[in-house]
Amino acid sequence: MEWQDEGFIIGLKQHGETGLIVELITPEHGRHKGLVRGGQGRRLSPLMQAGNRVKAQWRARLSEHMGQYRLEAVDFAAARLMQKPLSLYVLQNVTSHLRLLPERDPHPALYRLIPLLFEHFDRPLLAGEIFVRFEMRLLEELGFGLDLSRCAATGKKAKIMPVQAGQNNEALPRPGREAELLAGHISTAEPVAKAGSRRPVAAAASPKPGDREEEVELAYVSPKSGRAVSFAAGAPWRDKLLSLPPFLLAAGQRAADFAALQQAFQLTGFFLARHVWEPRGLAVPLFRAAFLQSLQAALAEDKRQAV
């Protein structure tokens, strides 16, 4: 058995006196382990760092065997990511989250967000938005995706608010080809709401053929069902619902400030804890809170420098 792919190193474990068991996340073969002989040696030690991007050749006698890797460097990203607290916490969170995925199952949409995070950590607001979308996609890939397409109580479609012209938004990418590519990657990597994948909070009437479907502004998410709820329908129970920041409803929307990101991280954190960490007996990663604190400090520093 043999295959070739690219990937990021997300885990390392010593094997014997000189070998390393290297865990990669790849677009076509998912989270995959392999043995690198001599991986602890001086020649390979700069490459054997979490966050580095590599070309991988994997070989094994049978597909179910762990097999061996032959790795070549593509990008020594680890050295850059370890220079600042924010990027270091990005690296720690990403590698921890990716190890929640089942082994050898490909998750290409989730994979596409990794280089975006590693490349744009110097733009705090944008990095925070990409990371929260990474958590949204992770929930989707694990089978616990949120349904933000309609109001759970009324069945009415979500109304997407247009981006205001001249909106002061530090997360918007700079004009040009780079901005178009970035927006496209974020869009294709966003979770796709699967209507009907969760039990409705209340029965809702379907629109008749030919009728124009009414749209409503969604403002909350039910902690029980993971489905969105509109302002009006959720008002009587707003203290028991989770806030839904508008930028999560469409790829064209960007996070306006840290408060919006904080709401989004509270939302994803709630469902990650309920469906992923707690059932596996895992504690909430401490460096997730550290990432948010570092993000807030970086945004405050950017604001001071702009004055």
35 and 130 assigned to the same domain: no
**122 neighbors 174 (Cβ within 8 angstroms):** no
Beta-bridge mates of residue 287: none
Can you tell me the distance from the alpha carbon of 158 to that of 37, in angstroms, rounded to the nearest whole number?
53
Can you tell me the distance from the alpha carbon of 41 to that of 274, in angstroms, rounded to the nearest whole number?
42
188 and 250 assigned to the same domain: yes
Instruction: Provide the pLDDT for residue 184.
Output: 52
Can you tell me the distance from the alpha carbon of 229 to that of 31, in angstroms, rounded to the nearest whole number?
35
71 and 89 assigned to the same domain: no
Instruction: Provide the pLDDT for residue 173.
Output: 47
Domain count within the chain: 2
In a domain, 294, yes or no: yes
219 and 113 assigned to the same domain: yes
Instruction: Provide the pLDDT for residue 196.
Output: 39
Residue 12's CATH number: 2.40.50.140
Full domain range(s) for residue 11: 2-76
Q: Look up the pTM and report it.
A: 0.84
Instruction: Provide the pLDDT for residue 250.
Output: 73
Q: Which residues of the chain have pLDDT under 70?
A: 161-213, 251-252, 307
Residue reference for tokens 């950590």: 121
Can you tell me the distance from the alpha carbon of 98 to that of 289, in angstroms, rounded to the nearest whole number?
17
**286 neighbors 302 (Cβ within 8 angstroms):** no
The residue type of 114 is I
- What would the two tokens of residue 119 be? 């490349």
In a domain, 258, yes or no: yes
